[in-house]
Structure 1
Amino acid sequence: MRVLVAEDHRVLARTIATGLRRQAMAVDVAGSGDEAERMCLLTDYDVLILDRDLPVMTGDEVCRRLRERTDPPRILMLTAAAEISDKVYGLTALGADDYLAKPFDFAELVARVRALSRRTPTSPPAALRHEGITLDRARREASADGRPLELTPKEFAVLHLLMEARGAAVPHDELVRTVWDENLDPRTSAVRAVVSRLRRKLGDPGIITADKGQGYRLCD
């Protein structure tokens, strides 16, 4: 899942981004409204966490402008404006998909972001299966031949992408872009390390192959 955090308070933005990355989300950060809009035009984000009080262009204006797009990201308003009238305005007049007032509990933010990412007409089935491997997106659980797998958030996210591809190769760059974010050096060995651990946990070194020039894929 790819998320954009539009927040001009640098410490808060960094805290949110770090926490979401630990949940295996790819997170970018924008410090102003115009930057957030520009990044959304260049990248297909699943969820935009949007502060209403942004410099240059307000979050309200960003929300309105993005709603004019054919396929905008899901927008979670994150703001100190906590009155019921503020929430109603954000959800109705501005067209936000969700609204969370500051201060907030981080676990609730994560839950809301995940819920928004599932709220799409083309959302795939909760459970994916491939050659004895089962992955349940809703419960965030995975098993191999009935044996529960203890996966880290990054391992779960990589396995999820590979299973969604149904045997097709997933390019290295796509794994980096979706599971990590723009701050990760694409030449890093992070992807290779996660795939190596996945092979061990799945109990079959050959279940995930690296096709030179193509990426990684699950074997039949």
Structure 2
Amino acid sequence: MKNLILLVEDNTELATTVVDFFEKKGALVDYAPTAKLALNLLNQNKYDIVILDLMLPGMSGLELCQVIRREHDVTLPILMLTALDSVDDIVYGFNCGADDYLTKPFVLPELEVRVAALARRNGLKRDVKITIGPITFDRRTHQVFRDGVEIKLSKMGFQIMRIIVEEYPRVVSKSELIQKLWGDSLTESDVLRSHLYQLRLALDKPFTTPLLKTVHGVGVTFQNID
């Protein structure tokens, strides 16, 4: 299926380059030079991803990102483009609702793979049944299968599995898991470690090849996925 992309960028030359690149790749791209036009397009269309410049005339990209999250779609992937590359700028962008951040100047192939990754993750989040290699994850029935064999998980194990499945192939950090599972409630990291251990026993112990992978100092993801 072709991705429908909304590009919000006031630099006409850059916008033309990006639009031409993605359309040659088979994507469909709508272009808005202002936040006002972007909001009109968002009211009319269902986009797979928004590529959003930070510095826009009138309403800034950060303000537009907040409006999208508040009034349109909390799950719509937003990739911010900006020349501002300090840690504070990047953190603030994420806090405003961005899913990814690419600093200018950038190369188009990198933008392409980032867009593809965000669109894929968003598609996974919307699917009722998700298949990744030997894993089948069914949101509706709350069932998980590996190679056709049902894996019995606890309620918390299922929630952890859901997050890892939806974010694959990205590595999910322990802090992100804690935030998504318990919010602002104070939770010991040992509690998460215990749940991950139980998930690993259920998912990997009956099989010869381990799937759940801990990336030291980073987080967890799947491995040995064909």
TM-score range, shorter chain: 0.5 to 0.7
2:91 partner letter: V
The alpha carbon displacement at 1:71 in A equals 2.6
Question: 2:141 corresponds to which residue?
Answer: none
Mapped partners of 1:97, 1:41: distance in 2: 21
Question: 1:122 corresponds to which residue?
Answer: 126
Unaligned ranges ≥5, structure 2: 134-226
RMSD value, Cα: 1.6
2:126 partner letter: T
Q: Could you say which structure has the greater relative contact order, defined with CA pairs below 8 angstroms and 6 or more residues apart?
A: 1
The alpha carbon displacement at 1:33 in A equals 1.1
Unaligned ranges ≥5, structure 1: 128-220
1:122 partner letter: R
Mapped partners of 2:119, 2:85: distance in 1: 23
Question: 1:89 corresponds to which residue?
Answer: 92
- Normalising by structure 1, we get a TM-score of 0.54
Aligned mate of 1:35, from 37, 47, 50: 37
Mapped partners of 1:109, 1:125: distance in 2: 26
Mapped partners of 2:51, 2:64: distance in 1: 11
Question: Mapping of 1:1-220 within 5 angstroms?
Answer: 1-69=3-71, 71-72=73-74, 73-92=76-95, 94-120=96-122, 121-123=125-127, 125=131
The share of aligned pairs that are identical, in percent, is 40
- Normalising by structure 2, we get a TM-score of 0.53
Mapped partners of 2:131, 2:14: distance in 1: 34
Mapped partners of 2:72, 2:30: distance in 1: 22
Question: Which structure has greater helix proportion?
Answer: 2
Mapped partners of 1:69, 1:125: distance in 2: 31
The alpha carbon displacement at 1:126 in A equals 6.6
1:78 partner letter: L
Aligned-partner SS, 1:19: helix
